Amino acid sequence: MFVLDGKYNLNDKTTLGAAYYFVNSDDVSVTAPAPANTAIEDLTVHMLGVNGSTKIGDLALDGFLAYQFGEDNVTGTHRSAYAGNVGVRMPLGKGTCRSEFLYVSGDENNGNQHSFYTPYARKFAQYKLAESGFYNNEMVILGRDKNAMTNDNSIVYDVNNNNQGVIFGSLGYDYPLTSSLTGSVNAGFAAVAEDNSGNHKSDYLGTEGNLELVYKFNENLNFSARAAYVALGDYYDAANADDPYDVKLIVKYNF
């Protein structure tokens, strides 16, 4: 893996950046009996990206655009994938309003790969543990939770999203209730960019709402309570799945 990244401060309010990533993966699995080597992943990926952030009065904007191309030598297919994001923050009353929108392309079953490649690690061959996630939307179940340290799971685990890509939007509000207590409320929606299985009623994955309270005892010790609920979309209609929910009580000590 090779990374080249640079940023330029256009002025005291605007920063522009550009990046190039190169990945060459020759991942094989040792099996018995012979032949011993079976290719799991043999590919080259190039990624070009631009990013930026600026302030217009009290309004803060940031975002990125990324394009991937390369070749999968196992399947003999070419990759052409793209992703884009825009985020907005602004004061509202005594608090701060936040919004994020993310689009990542998915496979269209047309002979090429349009899904966004994300590197992953394997603890066991059957489990693909992604090394990337998108946390800016402050989701708990629909996207990966920032507080998930040991049981890290979500409906959209990484931006590849099982080669389907994702359309993800969120809105949040942070409010200082007291000098030590902060409250946050977040809502988000997600859909697959491409339902390449064709076995679902719609592309819509679901809508999440969550609440969080954080009490700061001192500089090193925080106590937080967080609850979330997801109303599943018609993507899961055939699975007859129950709407998931999550409740957490967290003590965080920095030392």
Domains and CATH numbers, the chain: 2-253 (2.40.160.100)
What average pLDDT does this structure show over 128-144? Answer: 83
- pLDDT at residue 21, as a whole number: 96
> Which stretch of 40-44, 94-98, 180-184, 187-191 has the lowest confidence by average pLDDT?
40-44
Secondary structure of residue 236 in the 3-state scheme: helix
Query: Where residue 240 falls among pLDDT bands split at 50, 70, 90?
Result: confident
- pTM of the predicted structure, to 2 decimals: 0.89
- Rounded Cα distance between 240 and 92, Å, is 40
- pLDDT at residue 121, as a whole number: 61
> 154 is written with which tokens?
């979500």
Compute φ and ψ for 235, nearest 5 degrees: -60, -30
Are 190 and 170 contacting, i.e. CB atoms less than 8 angstroms apart?
no
pLDDT per residue as tens digits for the range 200-217: 899 999 999 999 999 999
- Rounded Cα distance between 68 and 114, Å, is 9
- pLDDT at residue 38, as a whole number: 60
Query: Where residue 247 falls among pLDDT bands split at 50, 70, 90?
Result: very high
pLDDT per residue as tens digits for the range 37-92: 565 788 999 999 999 999 999 999 999 999 999 998 888 889 999 999 999 999 99
Are 117 and 45 contacting, i.e. CB atoms less than 8 angstroms apart?
yes
Whether residue 13 is predicted with pLDDT greater than 60 in this model: the reply is: yes
Compute φ and ψ for 166, nearest 5 degrees: -155, 150
DSSP output for 53-83: EEEETTEEEEEEEEEEEEEETTTTEEEEEEE
* Average pLDDT of the residues of the chain: 89
Give CA 249 to chain center in angstroms: 23
- Rounded Cα distance between 13 and 106, Å, is 34
Burial class (CB in 10 A: 0-12, 13-18, 19+), 46: middle
- Token pair 């990484």 is found at 158
